[in-house]
Structure 1
């Protein structure tokens, strides 16, 4: 009996690993929810305060926000620039799960200023990077308890992975898809249970905590829970292929804009700030056609759920067909996000990618004369979401599962088909890998910060 119990608690036994993974998952879930809710609390307070300043139009604030980001945040820690996922990839792939705490703190400030001043971008990348960074620090501290390393170096890798998974879960309320996303985006075709199991545990616990305390997800899908007509398969395929090629165009455009702003070069604070102001100005001017696209654009997403043509049209000409309106919104949102992040401001791609994917689905729904609010309408939204997500992120499994978790099981067919097709169309053009190459070129001569 004693031998049996000893074998259970033996290092690297299944029970030992399960207990260790569970502990890391619980800590990650708590850290992620505190990080997410703290960031959202400050974000909402800042945006509300700026909205009350009636003397300054809302579209001017992103330009103003570029000044402190460039002169203060980036002049101190240049690596906190841009999207958060490339930094996460670098830390996990090449540094054994070591993510700089200093960069994490400054990333928090840069993203809060960018998004708080109505910058065009998403929460997932920056907030996920923050949670992963905090967990990486906790792992390093735990690994040196008593003056010696008590945690296997391979386990250090799990801390940022679980931190990312838990943050995505807390933001999107996707317990399984979030865990897979955190692993799939770094390991792709070489995913292993040793990383997947703890990540899924972390995201699942994180979603439970978020729901227990009544924290809302950043995206609520109110899809009609009824079977779609099977004859819609051709339309779904058209949406998925279009989403794949649209994602490819997005990546190529971002590559050109980032090169224009010299993202692979360390610049002086003045020049860097001027680029940030220029990128934010272009993004702000674009959204004048529809002010609801400003910042996160929550109103546009809500308008898609109930198909509110007034909000979707904004200031666009009344005579313009609705599919033309939706297509223009895709261009505006995409270019706005590209110029915001491409110039160096700290924001994410995921939120805009999700919105553009659903706008694309709605655009084709209007072309095919599909009734808004019907199961077929939401099937095209789900296909656009999954196809665009898989195309840009190159994470087809996570894309399919996240869409099913958000839309419901009735939409598993468009989600799965779109994720696979979107990935296959664009599998050799990964947005984050390209951004990671820029980051490495820019920071290769800089020391690793603690």
Structure 2
């Protein structure tokens, strides 16, 4: 290949992915904005007013899964990995996009517990494939190879994660790194970061105030504390693996139930309603609440129990067939672990323990060390500090044989 041909090819590559990611970033920001506002409105209009709102959500979810698209249930991350790495194109992407969007709105708006990361991976990926079908309809063929389809899917997912997490670099790395056990493909990574950055830009053009970013002045750990930090990270990584074991147990329980799959959301909704009423568990578990764990050690036993109940209920609704994410809950559980470890290691600053806790737990559960480092640093406005690096690497090494996402484990 001559130099002229090489640079023509590179020039076309750059222009193609710049234009596509500009479009994906704009649409991804809109989807995130509409989804989050829709969840808030459902919560205000129905969840806070009607006692049986979780049952209403269960019925809607059962109808969606039974009559519209069974792919709307669950994490979303496993299907994103499967379809993105598959040699076969995603079938009926518009149907999947609509069903997953509404299923996620219903789960978080009417059940009140869950997260958005996993569902948005699948929503963004489906959105990108729909755009390709629109291009094909008008005889505009830009994507011709399996590599192009994979990168397009990753860019769509990244275009929703960047604005959701407030992490333009981390969103792109997450969408790429989650696909592989131990490697990254630059063909995926750089366009994904572009899509994530455009999504972040457009989202904050629509909504100037960041949703998750927290300014945190993190004191650096001394060299004497290094071994202690590694020990704390190991504890949090092991807790992350316990998290997976509990999730597997609940998932297998629902899987073995001798009832129709579309009835399982009704059962999960009833369990959630009963437990939330009995123990007065308030709705919504989200990463915005993490900032409270950075500055105040939890002293009230009931508050700790409530957070643990929310974590378990998130597992129940996912196993029961609702659309929610486990990653958001992993951040909360890691932050809680770090907060509680302050009573054992009071000489380590509380913010350092919380950061290392959520970094190690997330990396242990999802096996994404690089994405964890960058996302945590971006969300909390940190330099890539020692606690973040130690937590991410130790958590990954502990969790490497196991991951919460079935498709990775079975690969």
Give the TM-score of the pair, scaled to structure 1: 0.82
| Equivalent residue in structure 2 for 1:199, among 192, 196, 210 | 192
* 3-state SS of 1:183 partner: helix
Mapped partners of 1:366, 1:413: distance in 2: 21
2:310 is aligned to 333
Quote how far apart the aligned CAs of 1:144 are. Answer: 5.4
Q: Deviations over 1:151-171 (max 9, x none)?
A: 222212222201111111010
Q: Contact 1:129–1:164 at 8 Å: present in 2 too?
A: yes
| Equivalent residue in structure 1 for 2:72, among 75, 80, 101 | 80
1:367 is aligned to 344
* 3-state SS of 1:224 partner: coil
1:322 is aligned to none
1:181 is aligned to 174
1:39 is aligned to 35
Q: Contact 1:391–1:426 at 8 Å: present in 2 too?
A: yes
* 3-state SS of 1:163 partner: helix
Mapped partners of 1:291, 1:264: distance in 2: 28
Worse-superposed segment, 383-392 or 291-300: 291-300
Mapped partners of 1:348, 1:137: distance in 2: 23
| Equivalent residue in structure 1 for 2:62, among 53, 60, 70 | 70
* 3-state SS of 1:103 partner: helix
Quote how far apart the aligned CAs of 1:397 are. Answer: 0.8
Give structure 2 stretches of 5+ with no counterpart: none
* 3-state SS of 1:46 partner: helix
2:366 is aligned to 393
Is 1:409 the equivalent of 2:396?
A: no
Q: Contact 1:28–1:159 at 8 Å: present in 2 too?
A: no
Mapped partners of 1:257, 1:237: distance in 2: 30
Quote how far apart the aligned CAs of 1:417 are. Answer: 0.9
Quote how far apart the aligned CAs of 1:406 are. Answer: 1.9
1:248 is aligned to 241
Mapped partners of 1:216, 1:97: distance in 2: 38
Is 1:378 the equivalent of 2:351?
A: yes
Quote how far apart the aligned CAs of 1:201 are. Answer: 0.9
Paired residues in the alignment total 408
Mapped partners of 2:121, 2:232: distance in 1: 29
Q: Contact 1:222–1:305 at 8 Å: present in 2 too?
A: no
Q: Deviations over 1:140-184 (max 9, x none)?
A: 3324542x7442222122222011111110101111111111011
| Equivalent residue in structure 2 for 1:349, among 326, 342, 359 | 326
Q: Contact 1:361–1:383 at 8 Å: present in 2 too?
A: yes
Quote how far apart the aligned CAs of 1:385 are. Answer: 1.4
Q: Contact 1:77–1:106 at 8 Å: present in 2 too?
A: yes
1:421 is aligned to 394
Q: Contact 1:86–1:433 at 8 Å: present in 2 too?
A: yes
Quote how far apart the aligned CAs of 1:334 are. Answer: 2.5
Give structure 1 stretches of 5+ with no counterpart: 317-324, 441-450
Give the TM-score of the pair, scaled to structure 2: 0.89
1:122 is aligned to 115
Distance 1:400 1:285, change over 3 A: farther
Q: Contact 1:172–1:217 at 8 Å: present in 2 too?
A: no
Worse-superposed segment, 92-101 or 384-393: 92-101
Quote how far apart the aligned CAs of 1:39 are. Answer: 0.6
Is 1:142 the equivalent of 2:135?
A: yes
Q: Deviations over 1:102-138 (max 9, x none)?
A: 1221111111111101342101111221121111111
Q: Contact 1:125–1:350 at 8 Å: present in 2 too?
A: yes
* 3-state SS of 1:431 partner: coil
Quote how far apart the aligned CAs of 1:220 are. Answer: 3.2
Mapped partners of 1:284, 1:243: distance in 2: 30
Worse-superposed segment, 404-413 or 64-73: 404-413
Q: Contact 1:391–1:423 at 8 Å: present in 2 too?
A: yes
Q: Contact 2:117–2:325 at 8 Å: present in 1 too?
A: yes
Quote how far apart the aligned CAs of 1:43 are. Answer: 1.0
Q: Contact 2:236–2:357 at 8 Å: present in 1 too?
A: yes
Mapped partners of 1:61, 1:370: distance in 2: 45
* 3-state SS of 1:117 partner: helix
Q: Contact 1:114–1:347 at 8 Å: present in 2 too?
A: yes
Mapped partners of 2:48, 2:314: distance in 1: 25
Is 1:166 the equivalent of 2:143?
A: no
| Equivalent residue in structure 2 for 1:27, among 9, 23, 42 | 23
Quote how far apart the aligned CAs of 1:290 are. Answer: 6.8
